[in-house]
Amino acid sequence: MAGTEIVELAKRRGFFFGSNGAYGGTAGFYTFGPQGAALKRNVEDAWRDRFTVAEGNQEIEAPNIMPEAVFEASGHLDGFDDMLVECGECGESHRADHLVEGATSIEDAEALPGSEVELLIRDHGIACPSCGTPLAGQDVEDFNLMFATDIGPGDSQPGYLRPETAQGIFVEFPRLKEYARGRLPFGVTQVGAAYRNEISPRGGLLRLREFTQAELEQFIHPEDDEPPLWKVADVEVLLYPADEQEAEDGDYVETTVGEAVDEGVVGSPWVGYYLGVAQEWYERVGVDMDRFRFRQHLPGERAHYAADCWDAESEVDGDWIEIAGFSYRADYDLSKHGEYGDDAFTVFQRYDEPKTVERATVDPDMATLGPEFGGRAAAVAEALEDLAARDPDAFEADAVSVEVDGETVTVDADVANFSVEEVTENGEHVTPHVVEPSFGVGRTVQTLLAHAYRVDEVDGEERSYLSLEPALAPTDAAVFPLVTNEETLVETARSVANDLREQGLSVAYDDSGSIGRRYRRQDEVGTPFCVTVDRDGLEGDGPDTVTVRERDTAAQVRVPVDGLADALAPLLAGEDSFESFLDAYETVDSGVETQ
RNA sequence: GCACCGUUGGUCCAGUGGUAGGACAUUAGCUUCCCAAGCUAAUAGCCCGGGUUCAAUUCCCGGACGGUGCACCA
C-alpha cells in the first residue's frame, strides 16, 4: 500500500509525524518536520501567488481566538453542536436530533434544547437503532466541536479557537470594505490554523484537531457582479454532480467550466470560475489530475451557511479525500454579523444616476403617543413606520390601526404625521454575497506526497523518489563533492553550496557516504537537482564546471559554476524544464539507466 | 464514543516470565571519479500506570497512541 509507505517515509525523512510522542502522543495533532514544513510553506506561497496576488486580493491575519459573540452570530455555537445520546444497553452513541427527526415530523431538531429532545425521545418511545433498547431516560449531551477557552483572568469572557479562518475575515468586514474603498467585488484571503475538537481524528493529516486552511472570501454584489469567466471557460473539469451521485448508475460529467456554468450544472458562475482557477492551480502544484474531481455536496451534506457547495477531491491510497470546498455562502455570514454586531456589514452601492423616488414617511407625535401608550410608545411608532412603507393608503382614513404585541392599537391619522416625500437616492446599502474557496493545506500536502511518490529502477537498483514540482520541493538543490578523499573537491563543493544559498536557494550539502547514496537521499525528499563537484570540472583550461543531475531521469549535464544559480532559477520557478539544460549544456554520460 | 487488532533502536520487523536480536538507516574511519557497493567500529529500543510474581518487555486490568469497522464529520 502506498499509504503506509508514505507515512513511513514522512516519519523517517521528516515530513510529518504525530505530535508529543514523548508524552504518549496526542490524537489529532501533527508536527511538520523540516521537509514537511518547507513543503507546506511552498504550498501556501503557491496558493498566495494564485489566490491573493494574481486575483488582486488582500491577505489579512486575524486572531485564532475569538469571543463567544462571534460564534453566536456565525451559528457555530449552535450549528457546530452535536446532540449525542448514548444507549444504556449497548453503549452505542447516536445523534439525538437525527433520531427525533426520524420519529417525528420535526425537521430541525438540532435547534431544540437538549432537555426537550430528551422528552421527545421518551414520549415517542424512540429506541436505540443498534439494539432496540428504548432510549427514554438517557441524557442528551451536547458536544460542540469548538475548543473553548477563557479570555482574560477572573470574570473572563468565554472565547473559542476559530473553527474556520473565515470568521476572522467576516467580522472585520466593516473595516475591510474601507480598504477596498467600498467597491465590489473584492476578495480577502487568510492562511492560518483552524481548530475543531473532532470526536475521532483519523487518517494522518486528513482529520486533525488543528489544521491549516487557506481561504478566500470573495465579496460580490448579489446581482451585478460577474466573474471573469472567460479566463477559465475552456478549462476542462471532471464534475460529479449531486444528482449523478444519487442516481443508480451515476457517472462523472466531463466538461469545461464554461459549459458547466452555461448548462447550470454548476449553479453559480462565481463558483464555476473558482473551480476553473483551482483546477489549473492544482495541476500546476503537482496534483495528478487523473486522480482529481469536483464533487457537489448532496443536499443533506451542506453546512448551515452554504447555499451550494462543491468539493475538490483527490484520490489518495484508493480513497477520495476532500481537499477544498467551494461554497456559495450568499449573505448568510454578513447578515448574521450585521444582526448581532454593531457595525454595518453592507456596502453602499452608488447608482449610475440618482433616483428620485416617492417615499411615504411618518413622523409620529411622541408627545401624544408617550402619555397614551407608555412603554409601548416606541413600538407603536415603529409599527406606524412599517405600515407607511407597506400600505401608504391606510393613512388616508381618519384613524389608523396597527398591531403591537398582538394587540390592535388605533391612533388618529394626524398623530402619525403621514406624508409622502420626494427623495433623491444616490444608491443603496447592499449586503454582499460571499463565494468561498476554502483549501485544506495539510490535505494538499498529503495529496502532493501521495501523487509524487514513485518507485523505479536506477542502474538495476530499486529507488523511491518524490517527483514534486521543483517550485514546491522542500529543497531546491543539493551539492556534493563526488568523492571526499580530495580536499579540493570538498572545499569547492562547500563554497558552491554557500554561493547558491547566498543567492537565495534552499540548498542541502552532503559529503557522507557514496555518491549514489547521497543521490537517493535527495530523491526521497524530492530535491529536483543535485550538483556534483568532480575533478573533471576543475581541471582543464576552461572555467570550472559542475554536473547537474535531474531527479526523475537521473540525467546529467555539465554546467559552469559561474552563474549556476541564475541558470537554475527558471527551472526552480517551473518556468522552464530540464530539457533546455539538455540542449544548452554538454550531457554527462554516467552510464546509468532508469526505468 | 463503541468494537476488534496492534504498540520492541531513527525506520521496518523477530523474540522472551530471568531486561533483547536482525535488516535498513545514522555517525566515525578506510575505500571510492557518478547512482542505496565493500570492510572496521560506534550510537541507539521493549508506549504509560497499576496488579500478579522472587522476578513482567512478556501474563492480567486500566490508560495513551495507531489501524480497521460503526457512529460522527466546514
Q: Is the CB of A163 under 7 A from strand B?
A: yes
- CA(A430)–C1'(B19) in Å? 74
Q: Name the closest nucleotide to A82, judged by C1' and CA.
A: B72
Give, for A447, the enclosing helix (H) or strand (E): helix A441-452
- CA(A311)–C1'(B47) in Å? 38
Q: d(Cα A311, Cα A325) in Å, to the nearest integer?
A: 4
Return the number of other C-beta atoms located less than 10 Å from residue A154's C-beta.
5
Q: How does DSSP assign A243-304, residue by residue?
A: HHHHSTT---EEEEHHHHHHTTSSS-HHHHHHHHHHHHHHHHHT--GGGEEEEEPPGGGS-T
Burial A568-595 (b: 16+ CB within 10 A, else e): bbebbebeeebeebeeebeebeeebeee
Per the structure, the residue whose CA is closest to nucleotide B7 at C1' is: A24
- CA(A582)–C1'(B74) in Å? 47
**Given the DSSP bridges, would you call strands A81-86 and A407-412 parallel, antiparallel or unpaired?**
unpaired
Q: Which nucleotides of B are covered by protein (CB under 7 A)?
A: 1-3, 10-12, 25-28, 30-37, 47-48, 63-74
Q: Do the beta carbons of residue A532 and residue A496 sit within 8 Å?
A: no
Q: What is the DSSP letter of A51?
A: I
The model's pLDDT over A494-503, given as tens digits with 9 standing for 90+, comes to: 999 999 999 9
- CA(A23)–C1'(B15) in Å? 27
Domain boundaries, chain A: 2-69+149-332, 81-144, 355-425, 459-588
365-424 on A, CB < 7 Å from strand B: none
Q: A2-69+149-332 sits in which CATH class? A: alpha beta
Q: d(Cα A384, Cα A122) in Å, to the nearest integer?
A: 46
Q: What's the helix, strand, coil split of chain A in %, to 5?
A: 35, 30, 35
Query: How would you write the pLDDT of chain A (595 residues) with one tens digit per residue?
Result: 457 888 899 999 999 999 988 888 888 999 999 999 999 999 999 999 999 999 999 999 999 999 988 998 888 887 666 666 666 554 555 667 666 766 676 666 666 666 677 777 777 777 766 556 667 766 666 667 888 888 887 667 888 999 999 999 999 998 999 899 988 899 999 999 999 888 778 778 888 999 999 999 999 998 889 999 999 999 999 999 988 888 877 789 999 999 999 999 998 999 999 999 999 999 999 999 999 999 998 876 666 666 678 999 999 888 889 999 999 988 888 988 888 888 888 888 888 877 877 777 777 767 776 777 667 677 777 777 777 777 777 777 777 777 777 777 777 776 666 667 777 777 888 899 999 999 999 999 999 999 999 999 888 888 899 999 999 999 999 999 999 988 899 999 999 999 999 999 999 999 999 999 999 999 999 999 999 999 988 887 889 999 999 999 999 999 999 999 999 999 999 999 999 999 999 998 766 777 6
Among residues A351, A424, A343, the alpha carbon closest in space to that of A178 is found at: A343
Cis peptide leading into A185, omega within 30 of 0? Answer: yes
Per the structure, the residue whose CA is closest to nucleotide B65 at C1' is: A25
Q: d(Cα A518, Cα A551) in Å, to the nearest integer?
A: 12
Q: d(Cα A283, Cα A194) in Å, to the nearest integer?
A: 26
Domain A459-588 has CATH 3.40.920.10: no
Q: What is the pLDDT of residue A253?
A: 92
Return the number of other C-beta atoms located less than 10 Å from residue A501's C-beta.
16
- A81-144 architecture in CATH? 2-Layer Sandwich (3.30)
Q: In angstroms, how far is CA A457 from the centroid of its own chain?
A: 38
Q: Is the CB of A28 under 7 A from strand B?
A: yes
The model's pLDDT over A22-66, given as tens digits with 9 standing for 90+, comes to: 888 888 999 999 999 999 999 999 999 999 999 999 999 999 999
The model's pLDDT over A450-482, given as tens digits with 9 standing for 90+, comes to: 999 999 988 888 889 999 999 999 999 999 999
